[in-house]
Structure 1
């Protein structure tokens, strides 16, 4: 599984974030490892340098072998919180996708 972390210019600490979130993605998606080929995580700050409530965005796109990509987006006041919420959503989507595949 390939993991790619992307940030916009308003998110600080790219190298620390890259390492931390890459490891978290690998840990969270370990049970899907043989089916997921690539995970892209995109962080952004919707308000740039201005303060805003729930202005941190996390988009996670998961590429499943032989299927269309699954993408979820969440917003929160911190990047870490947005990431954790997106992980929950995308794992739920993956579970549903694989459950449907088993039914066919």
Structure 2
């Protein structure tokens, strides 16, 4: 499974942040890894200098082999919190989607 981390110019998207995000995402998605070809994470500042409680948005796109991409987003005050929120949503969605596929087989 390929992993890509992107951040906009207003987010200090360091290599450490990307590594932490990748480690966390790979841990949580380990049981789905054989079904996924790529994960893309996009983190952006949506309120500029206001620094509001929901000023950072994280989107995670998972690409299942032979299936349509799944995209989830979450907002928080910190990039790590936004990524974790989006990851929770993605795990729940994958449980639902892949669970349905497994029941059909």
Q: Name the TM-score, length of structure 1 as normaliser.
A: 0.93
Aligned Cα RMSD in Å?
1.1
Write out per-residue CA displacement over residues 20-63 of structure 1, whole angstroms, 9 at most, x where no aligned residue.
Answer: 11111111111111001111010001022332221110000000
Question: How many pairs align?
Answer: 104
Q: For 1:51 and 1:86, locate their aligned partners in 2 and report how far apart those are by CA, in whole Å.
A: 19
Counterpart position of 1:52:
52
Unmatched runs of 5 consecutive residues or more in structure 1? none
Counterpart position of 2:74:
74
Write out per-residue CA displacement over residues 42-85 of structure 1, whole angstroms, 9 at most, x where no aligned residue.
Answer: 00010223322211100000000111000001111111111111
The answer on whether the counterparts of 1:7 and 1:44 sit within 8 Å (CA) in structure 2 is: yes
Q: For 1:13 and 1:59, locate their aligned partners in 2 and report how far apart those are by CA, in whole Å.
A: 14
Counterpart position of 2:6:
6
The answer on whether the counterparts of 1:3 and 1:25 sit within 8 Å (CA) in structure 2 is: no
Unmatched runs of 5 consecutive residues or more in structure 2? none
Q: Specify which structure has the higher proportion of helix.
A: 2
The answer on whether the counterparts of 2:2 and 2:37 sit within 8 Å (CA) in structure 1 is: yes
The answer on whether the counterparts of 2:76 and 2:82 sit within 8 Å (CA) in structure 1 is: yes
Cα distance, 1:103 vs structure 2 = 2.4
**After the TM superposition, which of the residue ranges 3-12 and 20-29 deviates more from structure 2?**
20-29
Q: For 1:89 and 1:8, locate their aligned partners in 2 and report how far apart those are by CA, in whole Å.
A: 22
